[in-house]
């Protein structure tokens, strides 16, 4: 087990990114990861408990001429905060791009959302893709970026998530 203390001059921080990397050509398996922090006790912080979760996305395809940073994938639960947020940086010529998020359940696309937009060379764009999660069970989230005109695949990410039967109320909808 390794420990690392964040230098005090870096705190407080709105975000903290952690990168796990191996400098060797061997395989690395992370079976668990834990982050802990002491929260200040004051009247401004009325927290009794805090929680969060991490969604991992597998990079199935990535083009070197499109820099992509996924900043949020939402809650991935029925009735939750359901939006993929990305920052794209186009490294090549002007082109029209299509970004897509799909929720796949039982091998079928349950939800699909797209956005089509032009990008100049060196330009940066924030992309927001809403989605819905309808029911409980094993599901996949697929995020893709393609050239809108030719369909050339530039990025494909995939993540799996499970919605508990407890979450099948679809945000309170009856």
The tens place of each residue's pLDDT in the chain, 174 residues long, gives 667 777 778 777 767 777 766 666 666 666 666 667 666 666 555 555 656 667 889 999 999 999 999 999 998 888 888 999 999 999 988 999 999 999 999 999 999 999 999 999 999 999 999 999 878 889 999 999 999 988 899 999 999 988 888 766 555 554
Q: Which pTM was predicted?
A: 0.70
Distance of CA 127 to the CA centre of its chain: 12
Burial classification of residue 82, based on how many CB atoms lie within 10 Å of its CB (0-12 exposed, 13-18 middle, 19 or more buried): buried
Q: Token pair for residue 68?
A: 């992509």
User: Which residue in the block uniquely carries the two structure tokens 């705190």?
Assistant: 11
**Residues 159 and 58: beta-carbon distance below 8 Å:** yes
Q: Are strands 66-72 and 108-119 parallel, antiparallel or unpaired?
A: unpaired
Q: Token pair for residue 55?
A: 């969604």
Burial classification of residue 125, based on how many CB atoms lie within 10 Å of its CB (0-12 exposed, 13-18 middle, 19 or more buried): middle
| Helix, coil or strand: residue 93 | coil
């Amino acid at each position: 087990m390794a420990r690392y203390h964040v230098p005090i001059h870096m705190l407080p921080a709105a975000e903290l990114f952690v990168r796990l990397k191996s400098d060797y050509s061997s395989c690395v398996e992370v079976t668990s990861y834990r982050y802990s922090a002491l929260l200040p006790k004051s009247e401004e912080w009325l927290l009794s408990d805090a929680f969060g979760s991490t969604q991992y996305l597998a990079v199935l395809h990535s083009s070197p001429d499109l820099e992509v940073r996924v900043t949020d994938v939402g809650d991935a639960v029925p009735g939750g905060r359901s939006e993929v947020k990305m920052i794209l940086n186009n490294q090549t010529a002007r082109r029209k791009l299509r970004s897509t998020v799909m929720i796949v359940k039982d091998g079928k696309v349950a939800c699909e959302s797209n956005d089509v937009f032009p990008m100049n060379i060196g330009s940066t764009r924030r992309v927001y893709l809403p989605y819905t999660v309808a029911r409980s069970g094993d599901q996949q989230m697929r995020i893709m970026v393609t050239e809108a005109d030719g369909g050339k695949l530039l990025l494909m990410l995939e993540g799996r998530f499970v919605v508990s039967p407890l979450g099948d109320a679809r945000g309170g909808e009856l």
